[in-house]
Amino acid sequence: MVSVPGALRQAPRLVAWAFVLLGAGLALLGVGYLGYSKLATRGLAGLTFTQGLPSQGVQGPATLTDLAAAGTAGGAGQSSSESGAAANPAAFALYPGALLPFQAWAQPWAPPLEEYEYSELVRGFAPVSPRGLAPVGTLPQATRMWIPSIEVDAQVEDLAIRDLGDSREYETPNRVVGHIPTTANPGEGGTGWYFGHLATPIINEGSVFRDLPRTPELLRKGERVFIVLESPRGSYLFEAFPEGTYVVPKEDLRITESDRASITLVTCVPLFTYSHRLVVNAELVGFKLSG
């Protein structure tokens, strides 16, 4: 009869205990993850910031057709939507934009703010009239996005569509800000949609929008958040407006359009669960020619 060493006799028991401990560790990890997810999701309420604009004397955004009709009636000439040609925003100065401090371009009814904090950022920009907007698809795409207040400085690329066989989807941006190519480019009369990662520790596609969740906090403090989009045509200055930050479950996010010249920035929240999407909207307020 062959004797079995004690260590070998104990091996099955040790393996069994190893699996038990592994299972218990995975269970604790799962419970901890669920607990973190609930706490993190509750914290998303702080990313929604709505501050209504004054309603007295303020009209909603006009459509391009209305603006074109108003321009023709006022003798200002044809708009880009009527002629079909790409408009030059620099040729449509917003009166009396040159007489107003830049802080009042987006909200002319608002009291002026101190200029020193933003004077360098807006140097060379001129206010843009809605009549100077070009039709969607006629201007060059953005090549760079700059958001000084949250230290974003990244390239912009159009996202390609991936064929999944029975469906199609846009690719995810890899270390860049991704633009949905069917949406407006800067200077056009519509909304451009831009996506960036909050963090990607596993697939390692960068964290371009890691500080985008700071935007509602900055707005809540009364700070101004400006976004600059550069293209071969020039630089476009956008300002985040207070009623334009909110959070939605990822399955409820929809690409929507608007007649106002604006951009929508999107990133996944909260960190590690990514079950929701933070949406930050900004409106075009200025333009300057390249060079």
Inform me whether the pLDDT recorded for 149 exceeds 80. yes
Inform me whether the pLDDT recorded for 72 exceeds 60. no
pLDDT of residue 133: 87
Q: What are phi and psi of 136, to 5 degrees?
A: -60, 135
Residue 266 pairs with which residues in a beta bridge?
195, 279
Decide: helix, strand or coil at residue 43: helix
Inform me whether the pLDDT recorded for 59 exceeds 50. no
Inform me whether the pLDDT recorded for 62 exceeds 50. no
**Contact status, residue 168 vs residue 242, Cβ threshold 8 Å:** no
For the residues 192-198, what does the mean pLDDT come to? 96
For the residues 53-70, what does the mean pLDDT come to? 32
Cα angle 125-157-284, degrees, rounded to a multiple of 5: 30
Decide: helix, strand or coil at residue 108: coil
Residue 144 structure tokens: 């760079």
Q: What spatial distance separates the first Cα and last Cα of the chain, rounded to whole Å?
A: 93
Inform me whether the pLDDT recorded for 216 exceeds 70. yes
Give the count of alpha carbons within 13 A of 60, CB side only: 3
Q: Which of 226, 219, 236 is nearest to 282 (CA)?
A: 226
Residue type, 155: Q
Q: At 277, which helix (H) or strand (E)?
A: strand 276-289
pLDDT in tens, 118-145: 677 888 898 887 777 899 999 999 999 9
Torsion sign across C-alpha atoms 138, 131, 231, 229: negative
> Which has the minimum average pLDDT: 66-75, 220-229, 268-277, 280-289?
66-75
**Contact status, residue 159 vs residue 178, Cβ threshold 8 Å:** yes
Q: Domain 50-289 belongs to what architecture?
A: Beta Barrel (2.40)
Q: Which of 100, 106, 116, 90 is nearest to 262 (CA)?
A: 106
Residue 145 pairs with which residues in a beta bridge?
154, 229
Q: CA–CA separation, 240 vs 220, rounded Å?
A: 12
